[in-house]
């Protein structure tokens, strides 16, 4: 039996500039942090022939072409097997649709498990590229590439998405103490709204492709904010980073009508009144988790608790997608 795990993530700057419709023309930049909440995949060889899949649904089929789960079907299709005999099970700490990059984490965990099952080794960049190829090129999802890359690499990492589709990954050079303080001062609260990012991302993708001046201006500005956030973090100016998060959220809200809603806006302002220097919805928006930067933890936690929001406590993950059992 092979068991792999892949971390979920939070975005700290530049989110949205990793979509190919933008990065292939202007270059993208994202700061992303892997967290110790995971997607797990197990792969084993059952006694009977066939493909056995256990996720939110159950599948028992005979050939790869019959697989209903699109990512599993494309991943299995990478291997030539006329007589498949495999069982795949998936579990996750956090449900999908909450903005923490679960799809990219699942794809990297699945590929790591399948390649390990066949005694094949993948470098993190190869793993991320394969995952992006499946989700973006083969399945045509209107998504960016940070989820697959941060899941594969782990850590608090800066990614440059170049026009030629190459990706440069560098750890945030902020020093142990600053990274530890950043970790302590980032707080996640679940809004209770799960959502699909597809509609929001399709809107961004189509408007970017159509040279929509407003959308391009928003993305140019978000990339600049991401670069400024990296400087603030690496120079230990964490309060400035918190202020940049707030500035980022104000611009992100204007990117799409579905980015926020009155209830989320109310919770956000409540957080700002109780110690948060800045914050945002993690992911494409519309629901999921509110991320705040705050030094007055107790005040913020008490306000969010009274408002009915559940906190998700986390630490950074510095291992990336890995094999737990082989």
Residue 288 has a pLDDT of 87
Residue 260 has a pLDDT of 79
Same domain membership, residue 255 and residue 189: yes
Same domain membership, residue 281 and residue 184: yes
Domain of 78: which CATH number? 3.30.230.10
Same domain membership, residue 219 and residue 85: no
Let me know if 243 is exposed, middle or buried by CB neighbors in 10 A (0-12, 13-18, 19+): middle
Residue 59 has a pLDDT of 97
Same domain membership, residue 283 and residue 142: no
Regions of the chain short of the pLDDT cut 50 = none
Same domain membership, residue 168 and residue 31: yes
Domain of 306: which CATH number? 3.30.70.890
Residue 285 has a pLDDT of 64
What lies within 8 Å, CB to CB, of 15 at 6+ separation is 30, 144, 146, 222, 226, 252, 283
Residue 195 has a pLDDT of 62
Residue 194 has a pLDDT of 67
> How far is Cα 139 from Cα 199, in angstroms, rounded to an integer?
16
Cα–Cα nearest to 161, from 34, 284, 17, 33: 17
Same domain membership, residue 202 and residue 161: no
Residue pLDDT, tens place only, 88-107: 999 999 988 788 999 999 99
Same domain membership, residue 254 and residue 166: no
* Number of domains into which the chain is organized: 2
Same domain membership, residue 209 and residue 130: no
Same domain membership, residue 220 and residue 139: no
Residue 284 has a pLDDT of 63
Distance of CA 278 to the CA centre of its chain: 20
Same domain membership, residue 162 and residue 267: no
Give the domain range for residue 263: 176-312
Same domain membership, residue 104 and residue 252: no
pTM score: 0.95
Same domain membership, residue 131 and residue 66: yes
């Amino acid at each position: 039996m092979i068991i792999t795990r892949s971390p979920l993530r939070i975005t700290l700057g530049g989110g949205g500039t990793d979509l190919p419709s933008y990065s292939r023309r202007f270059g993208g930049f994202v700061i992303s942090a892997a967290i110790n909440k995971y997607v797990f995949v197990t792969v084993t060889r059952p006694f009977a022939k066939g493909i056995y899949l256990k996720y939110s649904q159950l599948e028992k089929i005979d050939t790869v072409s019959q697989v209903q789960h699109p990512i599993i079907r494309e991943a299995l299709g990478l291997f030539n097997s006329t007589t498949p005999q495999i069982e795949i099970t998936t579990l996750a700490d956090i449900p999908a649709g909450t903005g923490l990059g679960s799809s990219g984490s699942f794809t990297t965990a699945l590929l790591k498990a399948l390649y390990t099952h066949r005694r094949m080794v993948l470098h993190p960049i190869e793993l991320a590229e394969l995952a992006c190829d499946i989700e973006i090129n083969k399945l045509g999802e209107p998504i960016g590439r940070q989820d697959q890359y941060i899941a594969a690499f782990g850590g608090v990492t800066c990614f440059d998405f170049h026009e030629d589709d190459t990706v440069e990954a560098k750890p945030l050079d902020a020093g142990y103490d600053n990274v530890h303080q950043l970790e302590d001062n980032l707080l996640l609260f679940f809004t209770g709204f799960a959502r699909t990012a597809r509609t929001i991302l399709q809107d961004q993708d189509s408007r970017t492709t159509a040279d929509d001046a407003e959308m391009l201006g928003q993305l140019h500005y978000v990339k600049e904010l991401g670069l400024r956030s990296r400087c603030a973090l690496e120079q230990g100016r964490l309060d400035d980073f918190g202020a940049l998060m707030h500035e980022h959220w104000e611009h992100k809200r204007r990117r799409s009508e579905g980015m926020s809603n009155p209830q989320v806006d109310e919770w956000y302002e409540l957080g700002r009144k109780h110690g948060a220097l800045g914050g945002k919805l993690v992911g494409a928006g519309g629901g999921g988790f509110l991320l705040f930067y705050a030094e007055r933890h107790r005040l913020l936690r008490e306000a969010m608790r009274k408002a009915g929001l559940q906190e998700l406590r986390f630490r950074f993950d510095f291992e990336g997608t890995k094999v737990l059992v082989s």
